[in-house]
């Protein structure tokens, strides 16, 4: 559908219109909820009924549990970049949890 809309809805005659319409179609591709389109070509905002539709998954859940894990799996740096020191891992969530857990246990021991 995206390629069809790029071919038919983009204003290829003017440079500014071309960039605006391509940006609009790319934004529509990556939106969480589709925009309802009227017959005259004007776009409208989703109504309250479409936002609270139980069949539409919650966008926060989708971003946290589907989109971010997929992005994380694809953003793996090349071995030459990691070995040269250009990218360094500063912290690890698991290790940070251990540190804060230790701090909390020390705090409770001090209070008791």
Q: Is residue 47 pLDDT above 70, yes or no?
A: no
Report residue 56 CA to chain centroid gap.
Answer: 17
Q: What is the pLDDT of residue 33?
A: 60
Q: What is the pLDDT of residue 20?
A: 92
Q: What is the pLDDT of residue 101?
A: 81
| Residue 6 near residue 22 (C-beta atoms within 8 A) | yes
| Residue 57 near residue 33 (C-beta atoms within 8 A) | no
> What are the backbone dihedrals phi and psi of residue 58, each rounded to the nearest 5 degrees, phi first?
-65, 130
| Residue 37 near residue 46 (C-beta atoms within 8 A) | no
């Amino acid at each position: 559908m995206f390629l069809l809309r790029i071919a038919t809805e983009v204003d290829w005659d003017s440079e500014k219109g071309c960039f605006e319409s391509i940006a609009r179609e790319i934004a529509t591709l990556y939106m969480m909820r589709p925009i309802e389109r009227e017959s005259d070509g004007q776009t409208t905002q989703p109504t309250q009924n479409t936002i609270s539709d139980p069949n539409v998954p919650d966008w926060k859940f989708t971003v946290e549990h589907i989109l971010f894990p997929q992005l994380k799996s694809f953003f793996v740096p090349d071995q030459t970049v990691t070995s040269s020191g250009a990218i360094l891992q500063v912290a690890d969530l698991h290790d940070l949890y251990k540190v804060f857990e230790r701090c909390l246990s020390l705090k409770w021991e001090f209070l008791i």
